[in-house]
Structure 1
Amino acid sequence: MYSKDVKIAKKAATLAGDKALSELANIKTSFKNGSEVVTQADPLCQQIIIDEIKKHCPEDGIVAEEGEKGKVLVLPPQGSQRWWIIDPIDGTNNYSKKIMLFSVSIALFEDSMPVAGVVYCPGSGEMFEASLNGGMFLNGIRSFCSEDQIKPQSMVAIDSAWPNGIPEGIIELCKSCKLRNFGSTALHLAYVASGSMNACIVNKNRIWDFAAGAMLIQEAGGKITYQDGTDITPLNPQAASEKNFELTASNNVVHNIVLDALIS
């Protein structure tokens, strides 16, 4: 049902990814909101995505990271309940230092529920895509969350932001697996969805960081919830655009284990 929207998102992500790569030779950085790194490529890539979406879906709304003066860009829908949620470069710190672990994240919400999502890693060429009841695919191959318990070879991604310190339970959990942080929430979620990672913990993130990844996790058979275990949907994109979120995503086998570790 949403295959056309996935196709639009893939095209937009590819065009934006190509632009990001072309801008790597001459990166210029600045700061927004005091400490957030932004490059000249972020708004350029975002506009490419918006133009591609609006060409096919002119009545749909947009929530995107790069608005004027550090604000969120919000373009309400005209006659629909569809919102595209865009992060043109997720992992801007990496990108600004020419570390190729960054991604383009595009999601579509309809009636406050995710219905399509794409995460594209230009540096590796990995294209993760999903649509409602249509499955999750990595470069055209159907993929699923793992069914593994936490074990020494397992990989768990944790956020770098812990305002109150890392919980003791998470420290203990990480002693029994491989700890990872790639600097891109969208990539963390995509790797959980494709079975490469068992889980990831997301702190102080915005809707554009996780919206597409949530769709991937859902269609790959995993779980993504708030850190108290409650569902993240329904979620109104406009209302959510100014909020921070603390989430946990994993395969079904270890989700409660990770949630318990967060409160211990």
Structure 2
Amino acid sequence: MDDAAMRRMTAALLAIREQVDYFHQHFGRAETLWKHDGTRVTPADLAVSEAIFAALRKRFPEDQFFSEESDPEAPPTPVTARFAWMLDPIDGTNNFAIGIPFCSISLALLDRGVPVCGFLYDFGLRALFHGGPAIGLFRDGQPIEREEHPRGAEKILALHAPIGERYLPVVSRLISGYKLRAWGAGSLHLAYVAFGKIDAAVDLTVKAWDIVAAWAFCQTTGVRVEFLDGSPFPLKAFDVHMQPTRYVAAPPEEFAALEPELHELRQL
């Protein structure tokens, strides 16, 4: 990362830290609102999005800023600036609103559409992670490596639910060798594979803003993320109504056993 990217990394860490107290104060207490697509949003989602982008826009007005909570009436926006930001101000809003501690602030810096540094505040761990291929992975400012946990037959896979009926036969075979977890936060599912806390993740309905930070972490720790419909990165345009993407993620050595089901999923 060059000096311009490093300045942005430093500013992003500060902008997220400045929202942590607010995040905690409204956890389990936020009013529920409903968006155009029927999904839950809270005033905290909107406030965190506005505050983080206000701090970054003040420093870097030439950048582009894309949030899950962007104006739903806005047309798709081409990525034209060298640097852009993609934010999910509260991933796991359902959990956040009702007081379940699997939720996060997920932000990434994109350089020409490619996520080069991810930032993730994990509410459950009370930890701020950041990292990218050029700098490594950090937890609360301290460098970390991908964890290695000998599990034997106790391998863990995170699965986002619900799963469409057409996928059930294939997914049932794909997950048969794993213990399952479903935390309700796409950012954490993929990040925990990157961190080595779990062994794999499958999501067939995720949006790019959910996983953009964790994708950068995966590029850092060597986890393979296989997008079944082509990678959303480099991002060419941002649309708050963008289609979901489908992926399977695991360390490279896990993929040999998954390939038959991956081939079938690509056809669905």
Are 2:34 and 1:44 equivalent residues in the alignment?
A: no
**Rounded Cα–Cα distance in structure 1 between residues aligned with 2:152 and 2:260:** 17
**Rounded Cα–Cα distance in structure 2 between residues aligned with 1:241 and 1:132:** 29
**Rounded Cα–Cα distance in structure 2 between residues aligned with 1:72 and 1:99:** 32
Secondary structure of the residue aligned to 2:177 is coil
Secondary structure of the residue aligned to 1:120 is strand
Q: For the structure 1 residues 217 and 72, does the alpha-carbon distance in structure 2 shift closer, same or farther, using more than 3 Å as the test? A: farther
AA at the equivalent of 1:20? F
Q: CA deviation at 1:46?
A: 0.5
Unpaired stretches in structure 1, ≥5 consecutive residues: none
Q: For the structure 1 residues 155 and 23, does the alpha-carbon distance in structure 2 shift closer, same or farther, using more than 3 Å as the test? A: same
The answer to whether the Cα contact below 8 Å between 2:49 and 2:69 also exists between their aligned partners in 1 is yes
Q: Which moved more, 1:94-103 or 1:136-145?
A: 136-145
Q: CA deviation at 1:106?
A: 0.3
Q: Which moved more, 1:168-177 or 1:232-241?
A: 232-241
Q: CA deviation at 1:56?
A: 1.9
Are 2:181 and 1:180 equivalent residues in the alignment?
A: yes
Q: What TM-score does the superposition give when structure 2 sets the normalisation length? A: 0.86
**Rounded Cα–Cα distance in structure 1 between residues aligned with 2:162 and 2:46:** 25
Aligned-pair Cα RMSD in Å: 2.7
**Rounded Cα–Cα distance in structure 1 between residues aligned with 2:60 and 2:157:** 37
Q: Residue 34 of structure 2 aligns with which residue? A: 31
Secondary structure of the residue aligned to 2:27 is helix
Q: Residue 62 of structure 2 aligns with which residue? A: 59
Secondary structure of the residue aligned to 1:84 is strand
Q: For the structure 1 residues 241 and 16, does the alpha-carbon distance in structure 2 shift closer, same or farther, using more than 3 Å as the test? A: farther
Instruction: Report Cα offsets for 1:146-181 as digits up to 9, x if no partner.
Output: 597x85211100110322344334323433221011
Q: What TM-score does the superposition give when structure 1 sets the normalisation length? A: 0.87
Q: Residue 247 of structure 2 aligns with which residue? A: 247
Q: For the structure 1 residues 73 and 142, does the alpha-carbon distance in structure 2 shift closer, same or farther, using more than 3 Å as the test? A: farther
Unpaired stretches in structure 2, ≥5 consecutive residues: none
Q: For the structure 1 residues 67 and 113, does the alpha-carbon distance in structure 2 shift closer, same or farther, using more than 3 Å as the test? A: closer
Number of residues of Structure 1 aligned to a counterpart in Structure 2: 260
The answer to whether the Cα contact below 8 Å between 1:3 and 1:131 also exists between their aligned partners in 2 is no
Q: For the structure 1 residues 122 and 4, does the alpha-carbon distance in structure 2 shift closer, same or farther, using more than 3 Å as the test? A: farther
Q: CA deviation at 1:84?
A: 0.1
AA at the equivalent of 2:143? I
Q: For the structure 1 residues 179 and 115, does the alpha-carbon distance in structure 2 shift closer, same or farther, using more than 3 Å as the test? A: same
AA at the equivalent of 1:37? R
AA at the equivalent of 2:248? T
The answer to whether the Cα contact below 8 Å between 2:92 and 2:185 also exists between their aligned partners in 1 is yes
**Rounded Cα–Cα distance in structure 2 between residues aligned with 1:261 and 1:175:** 11
**Rounded Cα–Cα distance in structure 2 between residues aligned with 1:3 and 1:174:** 39
